[in-house]
């Protein structure tokens, strides 16, 4: 536990009402961190805050739309008043809007960038200033498989934005890690969430299609991110910065034409 002990630290996690942001928040609390959590889903946020308090840690819940820079700045003012420090920032909030590349409106593309790129960037800027003054801190920007490979099926705006997120991580790591502020990204493959479930219901062939790209043989679950988040928030990762870490059941390692071996596969002839 001591390698990963977060006692006395403060984490800010966006997108904490659901999925990976919620799972990350609970893991941070279990390892001793107090949290400021934000989301646009007030009810989900309250549930996460209650779960953090049940673990015995402090949670301040703030309704904040990360597409609105002023709302982010206001939230950081609350952080200053409530906690007066920030040790870890987890940028989880956000989602893509789908559209075919040949006719998606620029307005929709802007909306995705406001959310995933500028939202994450302003959060990094606000956290970064405070961490630079303190001479320590760790930032996690959630990217996606779409940061480094294409998804198709209308993901043009999402992929362009997630590509920018990993470059943001590399630039910030290069600028800031000499001053004690580490910046990393995790790139998840398909992790079950309400949006994914809806798309799987609408097209029952999708799950099988995704699994063909995942040698590990299952979709991700929100809790799969917990170990990496605790590692990146703790001093155990003090030499890890600028890293773009796949969390994808082996997806990026496999060539699209690769053949996977399962327990039931016949032996090689
Ligand atoms: N689930 C996946 O397969 C997958 C894969 C790769 C990357 N991601 C990325 O990981 C992140 C978390 O995804 P998840 O699977 O946990 O999704 P989720 O839908 O379970 O949770 C996302 C949370 O973000 C909140 N949110 C959305 N827009 C917001 C905004 N503008 N301001 C504040 N909060 C907002 C939602 O209310 C929700 O609680 C997202 O950025 C997503 O794009 C997800």
| pLDDT digits 0-9 by tens, 32-82 | 999 999 999 999 999 999 999 999 999 999 999 999 999 999 999 999 999
Q: Is residue 126 part of a domain?
A: yes
- Give the three-state DSSP class for 207: helix
233: which 2 tokens? 């928030």
Q: How far is the CA of 16 from the centre of ligand 1 (A)?
A: 9
Which pLDDT score, from 0 to 100, does residue 27 have?
98
Q: Is residue 253 part of a domain?
A: no
Which pLDDT score, from 0 to 100, does residue 263 have?
77
Q: Is residue 266 part of a domain?
A: no
d(CA 26, CA 223): 10
User: How far, rounded to the nearest angstrom, does the alpha carbon of residue 46 sit from its chain's CA centroid?
Assistant: 20
Whether residue 1 has pLDDT greater than 70: no
Q: How far is the CA of 95 from the centre of ligand 1 (A)?
A: 5
Phi, psi of 136 (to 5 degrees): -160, 155
Annotated active-site residue 158? The verdict is yes
Q: Which atom of ligand 1 is nearest to the CA of 66?
A: 32
**Residue of 19, 72, 195 to test ligand 1 pocket, by largest number of atoms within 8 Å of CB:** 19
Q: Which atom of ligand 1 is nearest to the CA of 22?
A: 16
Q: Is residue 157 part of a domain?
A: yes
Which pLDDT score, from 0 to 100, does residue 265 have?
83
Q: Is residue 259 part of a domain?
A: no
For the chain, how many structural domains are there in total?
Answer: 1
Give the Cβ contact number of residue 101 at 10 Å. 13
**Residue of 15, 40, 92 to test ligand 1 pocket, by largest number of atoms within 8 Å of CB:** 15
- Split at pLDDT 50, 70, 90, the class of 259 is confident
Whether residue 256 has pLDDT greater than 90: no
> Which entry of 83, 158, 176, 222 is annotated as an active-site residue?
158
Q: Which atom of ligand 1 is nearest to the CA of 189?
A: 5
* Residues 109-147: tens digit of each pLDDT: 999 999 999 999 999 999 999 999 999 999 999 999 999
CATH number at residue 174: 3.40.50.720
Q: How far is the CA of 168 from the centre of ligand 1 (A)?
A: 18
Sequence-distant (6+) residues with CB within 8 A of 113 are 157, 160, 161, 164
Q: Is residue 97 part of a domain?
A: yes
pTM of the entire predicted model: 0.97
Please give the mean pLDDT across all residues of the chain.
96
Pocket of ligand 1 (CB under 6 A): 14-15, 17-21, 39-41, 44, 65-67, 92-95, 115, 142, 144, 188, 190-191, 193-196, 222
Q: Is residue 261 part of a domain?
A: no
125: which 2 tokens? 């800027």
Q: How far is the CA of 39 from the centre of ligand 1 (A)?
A: 10
Of all protein residues, the one whose alpha carbon is nearest to atom 14 of ligand 1 is 19
Q: At what angle do helices 119-134 and 69-82 cross, to 10 degrees?
A: 30
Span 239-263, average pLDDT:
93
Strand partners, 13: 37, 90
d(CA 32, CA 5): 6
Domain span at 6: 2-246
**Residue of 14, 20, 75 to test ligand 1 pocket, by largest number of atoms within 8 Å of CB:** 20
Q: Is residue 256 part of a domain?
A: no
Given a contact cutoff of 8 angstroms between Cβ atoms, the answer to whether 18 and 41 are in contact is yes
Of all protein residues, the one whose alpha carbon is nearest to atom 29 of ligand 1 is 94
């Amino acid at each position: 536990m001591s390698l990963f002990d977060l006692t006395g630290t403060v984490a800010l996690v966006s997108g904490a009402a659901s999925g990976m942001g919620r799972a990350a928040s609970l893991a941070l609390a279990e390892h001793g961190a107090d949290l400021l959590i934000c989301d646009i889903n007030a009810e989900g946020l309250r549930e996460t805050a209650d779960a953090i308090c049940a673990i015995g840690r402090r949670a301040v819940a703030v309704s904040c739309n990360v597409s609105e820079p002023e709302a982010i700045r206001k939230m950081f003012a609350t952080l200053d008043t409530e906690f007066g420090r920030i040790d870890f920032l987890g940028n989880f909030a956000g989602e893509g809007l789908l559209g075919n590349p040949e006719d998606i409106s620029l307005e929709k593309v802007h909306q995705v960038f406001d959310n995933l790129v500028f939202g994450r960037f302003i959060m990094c800027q606000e956290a970064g200033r405070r961490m630079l003054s303190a001479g320590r801190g760790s930032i996690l920007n959630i990217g996606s498989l779409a940061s480094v490979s294409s998804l198709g099926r209308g993901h043009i705006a999402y992929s362009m934005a997630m590509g920018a997120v990993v470059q943001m991580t590399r630039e910030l790591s290069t600028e800031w890690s000499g001053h004690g502020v580490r910046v990393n990204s995790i790139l998840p493959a398909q992790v079950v969430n309400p949006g994914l479930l809806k798309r799987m219901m609408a097209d029952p062939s999708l799950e099988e299609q995704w699994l063909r790209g995942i040698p590990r043989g299952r979709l991700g679950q929100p809790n799969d991110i917990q170990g990496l988040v605790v590692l990146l928030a703790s001093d155990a990762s003090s030499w890890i910065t600028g890293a773009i870490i796949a969390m994808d059941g082996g997806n990026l390692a496999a060539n699209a034409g690769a053949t996977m071996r399962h327990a039931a596969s016949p032996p090689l002839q």
